[in-house]
């Protein structure tokens, strides 16, 4: 009897807790997506006041329609980061879930544009689609018509978010010159390359130093200078019999990892990758 | 029996002269050809003590000049009288089975040996600077070391499976073709005059490093070559040393076979048979300058090939210099790597 009563009590507590949790989640969720959040960050000052307002409202509209957040960022200086890293850090700072972000870097000598898709948009805005969007956006950027570039970006994004990526008839491969389009990206690649790592280089240097010192010590007492031919009577030495008979050939084949298309999430080619905060994303970019 | 070579002109003691390759009188400068110097010439022979030497026998020899006892151990076959300095050859230890058949005479004189040693010390990269001046040579001794020279036949037979690997790309796939081959080699090799140190006093490793001797200088043995030097007789017979030589030549045969199997990515031996057969063995005396050197109250021993001048031995090592080489090379390589990195625009 006692047991029955206490279990009933427990059920009541549980139901109350669940209700509270659902409420909190709903509140947080609605607050996160539908709040009037800043979506355009024009640090480079490329847009007029009314243009920014206009872009904000379109981005807001698309975002609520497709359960995502669209950001537009411009900057004069990427602080030595590649466009890719810059966007990844931005996405981490905003703790984005679903998001499409465009970044225009106006850094002198390293101007470029980058688009990334996070969460669900890693697939809805995959590498192939980003290439198509860039095709339309880059000419406007080159002409200095930034507002048109961003409205084009928003309209193309709206178009693609409403279409299932598996229905795409043409799949674009990522920009082959992706790494070359951003000076800072090349530096970052090298920094991640073990041969450019200072500790690795130190280790190699110490190794070579050790080998040189070791050889000097080893040879300090004279070295053996006879070899297997020193005492050979070459005129009276020969191969008496020999053959090299072919037996068989076996063939194995391995699929090339580099040729898989950009639509799958496993692809890390071009501008796609994972941010330091662990956010996987699609991406692509060009200089202009 | 003690042999001493007297100058036919003045009667003084003659020694072998490395520069001319002849017996030379140190008093009047007369030179005699070793090959032609026959028994017709008058030399001192101690007739009374003429007998054949027996293994392990300690004999007392007397200098014919001064009559003093010649200090020698059981292995010595040539030495100098410690009292009057006369060159003496203990002939009975060089007869019968103990008779050497060939010899390479010294072609580097004591003075040249000393100078060459000093030059070598100066070139030492990891030896202490105090050692490099080489002013502490205690003693330089010209020594004929007994060697066995083996003429050998080596037969080798090998069966192996070899592979050739080819990689190519077709479309989305990379193909790897591995072709297998059945490979067979049979060789018949001849080696001449492979040396093995037959003296128990000499460090084998040191003697191996002294090689090679130039066999163009090989001469039929004649006792006058020993005049003025120390000579030893062998402690090990050629049978006892054959295993050592066999092991060495087996490696040579193996290397030869390996060099005939070319153009493959990998080679796996399935069968290997190497037979080494002795064809001829000669007892030889080869010239070595032994340099005794004292550095910081420690004795160091170096050996120099008495024909080619090659020097071997463990010199003292300077921890400072080794460290300097290590640090210098490391820093240098590190700097070069950093410069390359910064030129390529990476790094931090």
Question: What ipTM does this complex have?
Answer: 0.76
Instruction: Compute and round to an integer the Cα radius of gyration of chain B.
Output: 28
Share the mean pLDDT of chain A. Answer: 83
Nearest to A226 among B161, B189, B211 (CB): B211
pLDDT bucket at B7, cuts 50 / 70 / 90: confident
In angstroms, rounded to a whole number, what is the distance separating the alpha carbons of residues B25 and B65? 16
In angstroms, rounded to a whole number, what is the distance separating the alpha carbons of residues A90 and B66? 105
Classify A59 as helix, strand or coil.
helix
Classify A268 as helix, strand or coil.
coil
User: What is the structure's pLDDT at B261?
Assistant: 93
In angstroms, rounded to a whole number, what is the distance separating the alpha carbons of residues B76 and B79? 7
Q: B212: cis peptide before it, omega within 30°?
A: yes
Going by C-alpha positions, the residue among B55, B34, B237 that lies closest to residue B147 is B237
Query: What percent of chain A is predicted at pLDDT more than 70?
Result: 83
Residue B297 makes CB contacts below 8 A (sequence gap 6+) with none
Q: Which of A187-196, B98-107, B302-311 has the lowest mean pLDDT?
A: A187-196
| Cβ-Cβ contacts under 8 Å, B211 against chain A | 224-226, 230
Alpha carbon of B209: minimum distance to chain A alpha carbons (Å) = 5
In angstroms, rounded to a whole number, what is the distance separating the alpha carbons of residues A104 and B61? 105
Tell whether the model's pLDDT for residue A21 goes beyond 70.
Answer: no
Residue B95 carries which DSSP code?
A: S
Mean pLDDT of A151-161: 93
pLDDT digits (tens, 9 = 90+) for A27-72: 554 444 445 689 999 999 999 999 999 999 999 999 999 999 999 9
In angstroms, rounded to a whole number, what is the distance separating the alpha carbons of residues B62 and B86? 11
* Total beta-carbon pairs less than 8 A apart between chain A and chain B: 188
In angstroms, rounded to a whole number, what is the distance separating the alpha carbons of residues B319 and B321? 6
Tell whether the model's pLDDT for residue B39 goes beyond 70.
Answer: no
User: What is the structure's pLDDT at A192?
Assistant: 72
List of E strands, chain A: 40-42, 69-75, 99-105, 112-118, 238-255, 273-274, 280-287
Alpha carbon of A272: minimum distance to chain B alpha carbons (Å) = 21
pLDDT bucket at A209, cuts 50 / 70 / 90: very high
pLDDT digits (tens, 9 = 90+) for B9-36: 887 888 888 888 888 888 888 888 877 6
Instruction: Copy the structure tokens of residue A115.
Output: 């688009």
CB A128 within 8 A of CB A284: no
Mean pLDDT of B205-212: 88
User: Are B322 and A213 a contacting pair at CB < 8 A?
Assistant: yes
Alpha carbon of B326: minimum distance to chain A alpha carbons (Å) = 5
**Domains of chain A with bracketed CATH:** 37-193+265-287 (3.10.310.50)
Q: Give the chain B residue whose CA is nearest to the CA of A243.
A: B184
Tell whether the model's pLDDT for residue B244 goes beyond 80.
Answer: yes
Mean pLDDT of B212-241: 89
| Cβ-Cβ contacts under 8 Å, B184 against chain A | 241-243
User: What is the structure's pLDDT at B274?
Assistant: 94
Instruction: Copy the structure tokens of residue A176.
Output: 């082959």
Query: Which one of A209, A254, A257, A259 would you mutate to disrupt binding with B, by most B Cβ within 10 Å of its Cβ?
Result: A209
Residue A71 makes CB contacts below 8 A (sequence gap 6+) with A39, A40, A41, A59, A90, A94, A99, A100, A101, A102
Nearest to B172 among A201, A250, A256 (CB): A256
Alpha helices for chain B (secondary structure H)? 110-122, 129-132, 204-210, 238-260, 319-343
CB B303 within 8 A of CB B289: yes
- Nearest 5°: the CA angle B314, B145, B131 is 25
Mean pLDDT of A251-268: 55
- Nearest 5°: the CA angle A110, A112, A113 is 160
Q: Measured in whole angstroms, how far is the alpha carbon of residue B185 from the centre of its chain? A: 33
User: Are B174 and A256 a contacting pair at CB < 8 A?
Assistant: yes
User: What is the structure's pLDDT at A267?
Assistant: 37
pLDDT bucket at B223, cuts 50 / 70 / 90: confident
Phi and psi angles of residue B49, each rounded to the nearest 5 degrees, phi first: -90, 25
User: What is the structure's pLDDT at A263?
Assistant: 37
In angstroms, rounded to a whole number, what is the distance separating the alpha carbons of residues A100 and A91? 10
Q: Are strands B69-70 and B2-4 parallel, antiparallel or unpaired?
A: unpaired
Residue B95 makes CB contacts below 8 A (sequence gap 6+) with B52, B53
User: A121: left (phi > 0), else alpha (psi -120 to 50), else beta?
Assistant: alpha
pLDDT digits (tens, 9 = 90+) for A67-118: 999 999 999 988 888 899 899 999 999 899 999 999 999 988 889 999 999 9
In angstroms, rounded to a whole number, what is the distance separating the alpha carbons of residues B68 and B309? 35
User: Are B126 and A220 a contacting pair at CB < 8 A?
Assistant: yes
In angstroms, rounded to a whole number, what is the distance separating the alpha carbons of residues B125 and A212? 11
Share the mean pLDDT of chain B. Answer: 85
pLDDT digits (tens, 9 = 90+) for B42-92: 444 444 444 455 555 556 788 887 888 887 777 888 888 878 878 888 877
In angstroms, rounded to a whole number, what is the distance separating the alpha carbons of residues B94 and B204? 23
Mean pLDDT of B79-106: 84
Residue B271 makes CB contacts below 8 A (sequence gap 6+) with B157, B158, B159
Going by C-alpha positions, the residue among B84, B60, B83 that lies closest to residue B72 is B60
Q: Which of A169-178, A230-239, B38-47, B172-181 has the lowest mean pLDDT?
A: B38-47
pLDDT bucket at A184, cuts 50 / 70 / 90: confident
In angstroms, rounded to a whole number, what is the distance separating the alpha carbons of residues B222 and B35? 7
């Amino acid at each position: 009897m006692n047991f029955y009563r206490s279990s009933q009590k427990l059920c009541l507590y549980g139901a109350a807790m669940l209700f509270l949790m659902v409420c909190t989640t709903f509140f947080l969720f609605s607050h996160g997506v539908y709040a009037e959040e800043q979506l355009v960050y024009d640090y480079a000052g490329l847009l007029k006041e009314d243009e920014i307002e206009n872009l904000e409202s379109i981005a807001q509209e698309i975002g609520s329609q497709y359960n995502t957040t669209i950001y537009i960022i411009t900057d004069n200086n990427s602080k030595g980061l590649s466009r890719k890293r810059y966007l990844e850090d931005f996405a981490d700072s905003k703790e984005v879930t679903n998001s499409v972000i465009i970044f225009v870097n106006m850094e002198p000598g390293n101007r470029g544009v980058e688009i990334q898709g996070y969460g669900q948009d890693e697939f809805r805005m995959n590498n192939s689609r980003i290439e198509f969007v860039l095709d339309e956006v880059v000419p406007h950027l080159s002409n200095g018509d930034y507002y048109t570039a961003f409205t084009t970006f928003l309209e193309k994004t709206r178009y693609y978010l409403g279409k299932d990526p598996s229905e795409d008839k043409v799949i674009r491969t990522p920009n082959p010159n992706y790494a070359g389009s951003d000076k800072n990206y090349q530096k970052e690649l090298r920094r991640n390359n073990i041969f450019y790592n200072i500790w690795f280089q130190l280790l190699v240097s110490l190794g070579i130093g050790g080998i040189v010192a070791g050889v000097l010590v080893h040879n300090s007492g004279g070295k053996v200078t006879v070899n297997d031919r020193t005492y050979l009577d070459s005129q009276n030495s020969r191969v008496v019999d020999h053959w090299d008979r072919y037996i068989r050939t076996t063939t194995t084949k391995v699929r090339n990892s580099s040729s898989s298309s950009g639509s799958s999430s496993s692809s890390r080619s071009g501008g796609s990758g994972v941010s330091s905060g662990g956010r996987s994303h699609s991406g692509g970019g060009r200089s202009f | 029996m003690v042999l001493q070579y007297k100058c036919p002109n003045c009667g003084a003691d003659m020694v072998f002269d490395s520069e001319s390759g002849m017996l030379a009188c140190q008093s009047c400068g007369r030179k005699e050809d070793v090959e032609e110097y026959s028994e017709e010439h008058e030399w001192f022979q101690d007739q009374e003590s003429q007998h054949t030497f027996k293994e392990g026998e300690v004999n007392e020899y007397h200098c014919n000049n001064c009559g003093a006892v010649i200090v020698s151990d059981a292995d010595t076959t040539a030495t100098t009288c410690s009292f009057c300095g006369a060159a003496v050859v203990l002939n009975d230890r060089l007869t019968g089975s103990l008779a050497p058949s060939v010899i390479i005479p010294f072609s580097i004189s004591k003075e040249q040996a000393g100078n060459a040693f000093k030059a070598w010390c100066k070139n030492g990269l990891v030896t202490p600077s105090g050692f490099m001046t080489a002013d502490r040579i205690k003693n330089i001794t010209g020594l004929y070391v007994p060697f066995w020279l083996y003429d050998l036949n080596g037969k080798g037979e090998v069966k192996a499976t070899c592979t050739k690997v080819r990689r190519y790309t077709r479309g989305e796939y990379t193909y790897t073709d591995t072709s297998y081959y059945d490979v067979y080699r049979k060789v018949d090799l001849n080696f001449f005059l492979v040396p093995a140190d037959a003296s128990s006093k000499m460090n084998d490793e040191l003697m191996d490093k002294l090689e090679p001797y130039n066999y163009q200088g090989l001469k039929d043995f004649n006792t006058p070559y020993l005049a003025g030097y120390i000579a030893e007789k062998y402690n090990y017979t050629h049978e006892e040393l054959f295993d050592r030589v066999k092991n060495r030549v087996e490696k040579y045969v193996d290397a030869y076979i390996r060099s005939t199997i070319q153009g493959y990515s990998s080679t796996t031996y399935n069968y290997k048979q190497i037979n080494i057969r002795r064809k001829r063995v000669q007892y030889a005396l080869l010239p070595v300058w032994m340099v005794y050197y004292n550095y910081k109250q420690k004795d160091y021993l170096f050996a120099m090939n008495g024909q080619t001048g090659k020097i071997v031995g463990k010199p003292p090592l300077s921890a400072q210099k080794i460290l300097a080489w290590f640090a210098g090379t490391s820093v240098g390589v590190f700097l070069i790597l950093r410069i390359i990195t910064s030129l390529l625009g990476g790094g931090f």
